[in-house]
Structure 1
């Protein structure tokens, strides 16, 4: 009888214990570091389940990894999530993928070669007006990019494609190398400001950081957020308006509710420890903005895993 009970206990434990493989990014990046912070704070509370932090290629790699069962959860930029949901709604949908928590914002940088004038543009007067403007409140109109080629690299490539998709720009997104002396096309880069590649481009004096109109952009795609970013240009710190996109920690959601318990427990752990993650001197600095989001109850327009109410009641 004792042997049967022991076997039953071992069998039950093997079912409830899960290893949650988390796709993040490169070891030196924010995604990987924040994943390590989550594991450090929550693995004890999740026991017998554990979070296993894994390097990856970023948002797209994490989405694909969740589809092919390489990852249970991963960090994905919100624009990439919505873009892929539009392109492949069967694989990327609110029933199969849900949010555990919102993370930090990264800035959209649209860099334009000074004096740039596309050969076949129908908006030549608008381009001339943009470079000749004296009013700092004037914003760049995304329609000026319609049908053009823009350069990018890395994870920013998909964000550039998403920008073209949501604003019907018919962009030709070209993968380029990091070369500030290539003035043949505008560049779209996404990263936390100040972002070193953007600093390097601006330092040449050959590029303009285009100010983007949040209100116009947000009306078309509500997940873009308002930002003001500061860069040193010509010896002066210049503030430029743009938009940002938030990173989300998303996980696979199963049809059987009991299988989602580990995800809800992890989401609850992050929620309960947000203030400590923000204040801990050894964690990634971006946790301060995550805490602000949680405090303001600022959520993405995507389905969330429910928090564990019993754990919250015992807080």
Structure 2
């Protein structure tokens, strides 16, 4: 498993190491992690890398706001075009367009800030069991697939596909047999292998990882999931704020909730804490949760 983790993390780092085509123009490739189109976290993470390469290294990303415009084609390269919106003494702003087949699939604004001192406060980290006491999402997914004979082979492959991020939920949610529950979840996560000591890279990897599980939180009260027949789901936007330096190769707690859903859209939020209880990032996302066909009744 350790070797697999190192291979998966290296593959993620390769994805984030964009090819420079021209000044402020980059190209990236995609990986199939079991969805129908390019994983939104991958596009956001690559866009973050593209933007970061155009600013002073003394400035770190402190916020990003992105919109997913079209599904990404996993078989085609993605070109990232960076516009220099502003360079100030403390802040810099970049706009990134991710383009495939001549059309934008993702658009993002990123703001960068030099480190400085100021007032500090935060909410307390939730009191939950530590990651060492929990089962990894990889192990749970394999068990879920093996226990459901009705799951088609193609779905078994999609659900069983592993990623570079180790995730351990405090109260696991079976996406193949979802129950109805309060729209709240707590998930510990970290990269499956050490990362280079590069804060900009850690923030790009966090951007990638912050898309896992967030939208699903808005489905909890309804007992449905991405794999429910007739369910159409897609991230519509994604916002992320970095509050302090962080390490994604050490355990982080992702505390997520969904305050509401309406008009086939679900809103999800998240707070990310390190092991010391420091708030390192905040996240918000709205996503499409459209039931296109009547939901089949579950067996009693």
**TM-score bin (small chain):** under 0.3
- Max radius of gyration: which structure? 1
More relative contact order in 1 or in 2 (CA 8 Å, sep 6+)?
A: 1
- Structure showing the higher helix proportion among its residues: 1
Q: Report the TM-score when normalising by structure 1.
A: 0.25
Q: Report the TM-score when normalising by structure 2.
A: 0.26
- Structure showing the higher strand proportion among its residues: 2
